[in-house]
Amino acid sequence: MSDQETKTKEYRRPMPADWWLKKRTYSLFMVRELTCVFVGGYSLILLILASRIGDQESVTAMLNSKTLSVLQLIALPMVIYHTVTWLNLTPKVLVLWRGEERVNPLLIAAVHYVAWIGVSIVILCVVFAYG
Amino acid sequence: MARSNEPIWWSLFSAGGVVAAFFVPVTIVITAIAVPVGWISDEKLYFLLQQPLARLYLFVLISLPLFHWAHRFRYVVADLGLRGGGRLPAIVCYGSAILGTVLAGCFLAFG
């Protein structure tokens, strides 16, 4: 009888909490997913900045805070990792055809990388021109 | 078939992913390096932030990446073994992103 009981029980595949440490690809997947914490964290910093937007002294103090700079510098490589993984996926999302021929996936990714660099330079130029 | 909210959250996740990928690194370079080092004067950046277009930029950079975080974080929590809790993680994650968006809108429109 006990045999039958176990047979009818739903099987739950065990998932140890450290599954993502067991293979390099799993770990990289987890790093990619965890970049969201840094993306969200930076938005939170900007939200706090926005809450003081009418008070120049407060905004200046925040922009010159060493602690905040360090936190953002820790976030920077993680956010760049997000950018790289995101842009590397663009050929999978965007499958283009020119007649019978599929547009080279590398070209699609490359166009996005160039756009990323271009947009970054334009924003820096605008802010430098102003500041 | 049961109706699902998934397409809405996924679209916001995706839009936030694009915004974060293209705009967050350069913005961090400005706020964490260029201003503290003195390449850009904090006074002039402050005046730039009074422009409507700069405020719109800030709003987009707050709101969409928050939705990106919410959607990814919700699943990362489950992937790390914290299951159960029913709909609570989703409500907390998406709720925070909605709250952040509303607050950012108010601060930047009226601040």
- Going from the C-alpha of B23 to that of each of A2, A70, A104, B4, B76, the distances in angstroms are 61, 19, 26, 30, 23
- Going from the C-alpha of A22 to that of each of A16, A17, A19, A29, the distances in angstroms are 10, 11, 6, 12
pLDDT tens readout for residues B40-79:
999 999 999 999 999 999 999 999 999 999 999 999 988 8
Which pLDDT score, from 0 to 100, does residue B19 have? 97
Average pLDDT value for chain B: 92
Closest by CA position to B40, among listed B52, B26, B51, B21: B26
Mean pLDDT lowest for which of A8-12, A15-19, B44-48, B102-106?
A8-12
Stronger pLDDT, B73 or A96, i.e. the higher one: B73
How far apart CA B81 and CA A28 sit, in angstroms, is 17
Class (C level, CATH) for B9-110: mainly alpha
Asked if A82's CB is within 8 angstroms of B17's CB, the reply is: yes
ipTM value: 0.92
Instruction: Find the mean pLDDT for residues A14-20.
Output: 82
How far apart CA B55 and CA A61 sit, in angstroms, is 19
- pTM as predicted: 0.88
How far apart CA B14 and CA B10 sit, in angstroms, is 6
How far apart CA B94 and CA A64 sit, in angstroms, is 31
Asked if A63's CB is within 8 angstroms of B35's CB, the reply is: yes
Residues of B in contact with A64 (CB under 8 A): 35-36, 42
Which pLDDT score, from 0 to 100, does residue B99 have? 97
pLDDT tens readout for residues A33-46:
999 999 999 999 99
Residues 40-79 of B with CB under 8 A from A: 40-49, 55, 58-59, 61-63, 65-66, 68-70, 72-73, 75-76, 79
In which band, very low, low, confident or very high, does the pLDDT at A131 lie, cut at 50, 70 and 90? low
Cβ-proximal residues to B101 (8 Å cutoff; 6+ apart), any chain: B62, B63, B66, B67
Closest by CA position to A36, among listed B102, B94, B20: B20
